[in-house]
Structure 1
Amino acid sequence: MTTFASPVDLGTFGPYGPGRLHTSAGWNRPVYPFQGRVTADGSSGFRAEPGRYHLYIAWVCPWAQRTAIVRKLKGLEEVVSLSYVDDERDSRGWAFRERRGPDPVNGFTFLEQAYDATEPGYPGHISVPVLWDRETGGIVSNNFPDITIDLGTAFEKWADTSVDLYPEDLRGRIDELNEEIYHDVNNAPYKVAGATNQDDYEEHRHRVITALERLEERLGESRYLFGDRITESDVRLWVTLVRFDLGYNPLAKISERALTDFPNLWAYARDLYQRPAFRDTTEFAALRFSEGPAPSFLNGGPKRITVEPALADWDAR
């Protein structure tokens, strides 16, 4: 019999965060302690094999969407299975509810059970994505930067090898750009949202704007971040761009300009959206997280600019 978690109940359980999500005032992301790696030869202890691994992800989460995009770009849908947790959570964390379906692997009702099965009494952050190993009955990794690299490189025996998201000749440059994207784009909106004073708020939001302007200039000279081929860097940037106007900007109040006000970034984002790997893993209704209960990290101290959610025409040519 399929079982689901009870409905989200903020009144009884409170919001997710306190006691689980420990961040500094500068929003340094929490530690992701499960950092196993999947390798083609199994030298890491986790050999790439069809049917062995499962991804637990959420529609709303950008870090998790990366894994769904790479999985589809590489043609791994029949190799690595995938399921979604519910979009909403209370202090109990991510859960399996009827809206998104049950846990098809273990029958868990809460993702916390996967963490406890791996480390009994696990006290830390319950995050997605989670890469689960059916063979060992535990989590391989919840360290999101590693999971997409492994999906993109370790399963070549079963993958679409015409897609190379992490080519050896570009890895150093991709790693360098990924660091910039992470600090100035991916993680930066959380720092804006969590700013405790006016100076920090202004500093953090202008750092995001400056980064977008820098990327706008770069994309005026090439179709993608590294020329005419999609790489890991494009996947990492895009998941923030697609959430900017509906989620990050209206939540954190970052910029008076929408994504559509950056012509090259907007054309680039729409270009990627035409590909099934990006389109089919996106549900815009789930990206309106700025309209739900305020997350625990949002600080109401600074005086913020006014920004309303906006849904542009992603099919515009």
Structure 2
Amino acid sequence: MNWDDCRLFLAVARAGQILAAARALGLNQATLSRRMGALEAAIGAKLLVRRTHGSDLTEAGQELLETLERVEAELIARQARLRGAEGGVAGVVRVGAPDGFGVAFLAPRLARLGERHPDLRIQLVPTPRGFSLSRREADVAILVGRPDRGRLIARKLTDYSLGLYASRDYLARRGAPEGLSELAGHDLVGYVEDLITAPALSYSASFLRSWRSRFEISSAIGQVEAVRAGAGIGVLHDYLARSHPELVPVLREHRVTRSYWTAIHEDLRDVGRVRVMSDFLAEIVRESHGAFGPPEA
């Protein structure tokens, strides 16, 4: 079995199609397809079911993927330990985060970590649907709620609260609701329902069971901007809303609370750059803990 073919197989399995993997690897599609055929012949089992718009893993392919990911994780950890013996934290660390936390809170603070570790490259990416730590889509993930599956090490960062907000202009035009039942008579801003990636992200039903958004935006920051512009009433993160004086809390006695957690794959627990990033997240959240609660009356 050619170990280089195993590396190529990992790329195909993660991309879901040979064409996309070939582009990422800088290889010709026919060459990559031929290499996959050679790997299947060497192993003596079919690994991929080739379809018009992609490739699915067979049972044998899934088993090989899991084995190779364990080998890859051990190599990454071993390399990090050997490098750590020679010097400081270096290399690339990728963090996956929801857009509100990642863009509005974490991104402005990354320079501080960069100053501490000049040889560390930091990548911040959104957490999409089907996000996977085991497939190395990130080294550290910030999640809403504690993860309940996978070989992960999880740590709670903080609770955070959300409440109803509207712009001053909107309230001047439409008036403020006096109770939750009156929300149905207002323009509402919320998520695109079929793109909600976890039950914990379904906030609106906590305020109004029959919530129906006129404006559906699959981004926390996008919802803030729409509400700021007078589109309607939305459920916003308090730590995002408090930096915009034109946003006014509505029915402030009604709120929901969720939690942010960090998760890393257990095979990366000893990798210096991953440990440094995980500790840095805990540090900056601890410093700003009061910012994640409800606004003062």
TM-score by length of 2: 0.24
TM-score by length of 1: 0.23
Q: Give the helix-richer structure, 1 or 2.
A: 2
Q: Give the strand-richer structure, 1 or 2.
A: 2
